[in-house]
A = this chain, B = another copy of it.
Amino acid sequence: MPIYQAPMQDYQFILQELLNIYQKPELQGFEEIDPELIDAVLQGVADFSTEIMLPINGSGDVEGCRLENGQVVTPQGFKDAYQQYIDNGWPTLTCDPEYGGQGLPEVVGVFATEMKTATNMAFAMYPGLTHGAYAAIHAHGNDALKAKYLEKLVSGEWTGTMNLTESHAGTDLALLRTKATPVADDKYAISGEKIFISSGDHDLTDNIVHLVLARLPDAPKGVKGISLFVVPKLLINDDGTLGEPNNVSAASLEHKMGIHGNSTCVMNFDAAIGELVGEPHQGLRAMFTMMNQARLGVGLQGLGVSEIAYQNALAYAKDRVQGRALSGVKQPEQAADSILVHGDVRRMLLSQKAFNQGCRALMGQQALWLDEAERHSDPLQAKSAAQLAALFTPVVKGFVTELGFKACVDAQQVFGGHGYIHEWGMEQFVRDSRIAMIYEGTNGVQALDLVGRKLLADKGETLKLWSELVKNLIAANSQQAAMKPYITGLMSAAADLEKATNYIVTQAARNPDVIGAASMAYLQILGITALAWMWTRMAEKALQCLDEGAKNSAFYHDKLATAKFFMGYWAVQTTSLVKQIELASEDIIEFADSAF
């Protein structure tokens, strides 16, 4: 069975040293946290993830979910584990204290999510979607809806789902057809079929709270005619007790490549009773306000699964003996050297490690921006943070899941033939992590969101805001000899980003289709440059800690070595990507449809 060791030391480094979250009096609620509390919370999640969630990850994949008499049965152990999960209060971490939450910052929540997703992505999706439903009602529901639903969702007594996709309407929600017809008492009858509904039905809780996009009878066409409804699996009586079954049911389970432990359903709504969340026809806007957080959650899946895949590949590489080092025998006491001596095995592992640690730091930064956007005492600072979080949302989703999947494939490769066999668990990581590139907006959609809505829509203002941070970092360290390898790598990537940005801006005026062709390379350039920025900041902190005589010097030396590798292996990739943008984008658009 795969092993997992929560990267606690990395979390501590990021929270305390890199982001300095314990000295943020300007952020409301941050005064209540301290390292002791946060370490205890994260250690609790680490223990739960490793001891309860990990053991049922592989078995859940093999067994999968099944539909019996119209009800989904989850794999063995899921129901018990879920009960323990809510008994321990894990759903409540970052939720509003008014509804039973602990009010912890996102910057703590992301690392809890990383661990849960690493150890059992399919299981973690049940509370993950619940949090989405909580956030939707919390942000857009009226007081009555909040009173009815939020406490149960925060406690985990009920779970939630998001019902957006229909078979003909995925990326393009303008095409959706599900109908909402008003009936008595502010109630609506919802009818339609939704597909790919994660956690759509299950046996973990008595009730399930479906958030559903549908059209009112008088709705304008397109995305401006979509409203958001809440539709419970069981109707709720006025006294809050559960009533009759609503007319919503799982029509079938999707046959998926992975995340078999999560019940991905086709859902039938047959005049199911629902209530409007927010204003009529404003459903898509309501979904959009939750997008930053939802996409961060999917990005964390890319990171989490990549991390556990790395840990297992490393353990295998140390344990497996096969062949001898090119430079001669390294472990004469064994029949062969461990495969960690082989340059290509080391390359794959180090690539994963540098990617994971860089992404982890970026996730922390992104979460802190989200916290600042919501909690900063200075509205201008809050606004800047919101802009930066919006800019990097397609990066943490699209870039991290794209390369996180690639890292899982590399980790599987370290196992050779054993990586292709179910028993070792590596092929499951590849299958599970694959979906993160697709759902919550495909990575291609993320790339379009980046160049269209984030870069061009504000004329590059937010990108400039961030570029100033990069320039300041470079300026502050330009005289430090020890910082040279990192600054050099960061500058080179940033220069490529600037070239790519100029290309996009120029082409946008000339032929907008061309920027679509360039968008994925652009997303990757921004992602790599962002990681180079995080690695430079981590190197800076590591050098400071060493200068100050920090006890755990090996940890900081390792950070510096990994940062250096990142610059030589990862940061250099922007050079070819910017060439692709400049040389191929127009050819892609000009290529005749008939010639494909």
Chain A interface residues (CB < 8 Å from chain B): 165, 169-172, 174-175, 195-196, 254-258, 314, 318, 321-323, 325-327, 335-336, 340-350, 353, 405, 409, 412-413, 416-417, 419-423, 427, 430-431, 434-435, 437-439, 442-444, 447-448, 452, 511-520, 554, 557-558, 561-562, 564-565, 567-569, 572-577, 579-580, 583-585, 587-596
Residue of B nearest to A564 (CB): B587
Q: Flag if A256 contacts B442 (CB, 8 Å).
A: no
A326 in contact with B513 (CB, 8 Å): yes
CA A592 to CA B349, docked complex, whole Å: 12
Q: Which B residues are in CB contact (< 8 Å) with A434?
A: 409, 412, 420, 427, 430
Determine whether the beta carbon of B592 is less than 8 Å from that of A561: yes
- B447 engages A344 (CB within 8 Å): yes
Whether B561 and A175, one on each chain, are in contact in the complex, defined by CB atoms closer than 8 angstroms, is no
Name the residue in A405, A416, A567 with the highest tally of chain B Cβ atoms < 10 Å from its Cβ: A416
B340 touches A596 (CB 8 A): yes
Do B438 and A343 have beta carbons less than 8 Å apart? no
In the assembled complex, the CB of A444 is this many whole angstroms from the nearest CB of chain B, namely 4
Chosen A-B contacts, 27 in total, with CB atoms closer than 8 Å, are: A170-B417, A171-B323, A172-B323, A256-B421, A257-B421, A326-B448, A327-B511, A343-B515, A344-B519, A345-B444, A346-B516, A347-B584, A347-B588, A350-B587, A350-B591, A353-B596, A412-B434, A413-B437, A413-B442, A419-B438, A420-B435, A554-B594, A561-B587, A568-B583, A569-B583, A572-B579, A573-B580
B588 touches A343 (CB 8 A): yes
Closest to A335 in B: B175
Q: Find A347's partner among B314, B520, B564, B569 (CB 8 Å cutoff).
A: B520
Cβ of A327: which chain B residues have Cβ within 8 Å of it? Answer: 511-513
| Complex-state Cα separation, A292 to B99, whole angstroms | 67
Judging by beta carbons under 8 Å apart, are B572 and A576 in contact? yes
In the bound complex, residues from chain B placing their C-beta under 8 Å from that of A580 are 568-569, 572-573
Residue in A165, A175, A340, A343 with the greatest tally of chain B CB atoms within 10 Å: A343
Partner of A342, one of B350, B416, B430, B516: B516
| Least distance between A585 CB and chain B CB atoms (Å) | 7
Cβ–Cβ < 8 Å partners of A341 in chain B: 513
A487 to chain B, nearest CB (A): 14
Beta-carbon contact of B172 and A256 below 8 Å:
no
A417 to B444, CA, bound (A): 13
- The 3 nearest A-B residue pairs measured at CB: A343-B516, A568-B583, A343-B517
Contact B558 A592 (CB under 8 A): yes
In addition to A256-B420, A565-B591, 9 A-B residue pairs with Cβ atoms within 8 Å of each other are A340-B593, A342-B444, A344-B447, A347-B517, A350-B588, A413-B438, A417-B438, A561-B592, A572-B584
Which residues on B sit within 8 Å (CB–CB) of A596?
A: 314, 340, 346, 349-350, 353
A336 contacts which chain B residues (CB < 8 A)?
172, 174-175
**Contact of A172 (CB < 8 Å), options: B318, B322, B353, B574:** B322
